[in-house]
Amino acid sequence: GNSVTQMEGPVTLSEEAFLTINCTYTATGYPSLFWYVQYPGEGLQLLLKATKADDKGSNKGFEATYRKETTSFHLEKGSVQVSDSAVYFCALRSSTGFQKLVFGTGTRLLVSP
């Protein structure tokens, strides 16, 4: 079945450090890939997405590239801020069946001043 694997957290960084959160997936066909973010006390919101191989999604300084050859969609940011502290979820939507979203377990990011 479809699945998403994320690196375990928490990831602890100082402000202005470089961020990578790894995400790999298993899916049949050609899934769409997403990163959602959950700030403290809030629901999830879409951060970025990519719908086909080699697409790069970007938003708020975050980027992720859909790599079909390595089945990966790693999240990166060049310089994190304290306000980026949140839980980040990688997700996929299958191109077949009911196209439900399948989420990873989430990675907590803590950024200190």
Partner 1 sequence: DVKVTQSSRYLVKRTGEKVFLECVQDMDHENMFWYRQDPGLGLRLIYFSYDVKMKEKGDIPEGYSVSREKKERFSLILESASTNQTSMYLCASSLLLGGGTGELFFGEGSRLTVL
Q: Which residues bind partner 1 (CB under 8 A)?
A: 32, 34, 36, 41-46, 49, 51, 89, 93, 98-101, 103-106
Pairing of strands 32-38, 86-93: antiparallel
Cβ atoms 2, 99 nearer than 8 A: no
Nearer to partner 1, 14 or 105 (CB): 105
Smallest gap from residue 15 Cβ to partner 1 (A): 26
Query: If residue 91 lies in a helix (H) or strand (E), which one and from where to where?
Result: strand 86-93
Nearer to partner 1, 40 or 113 (CB): 40
Nearer to partner 1, 19 or 37 (CB): 37
Cβ atoms 63, 55 nearer than 8 A: no
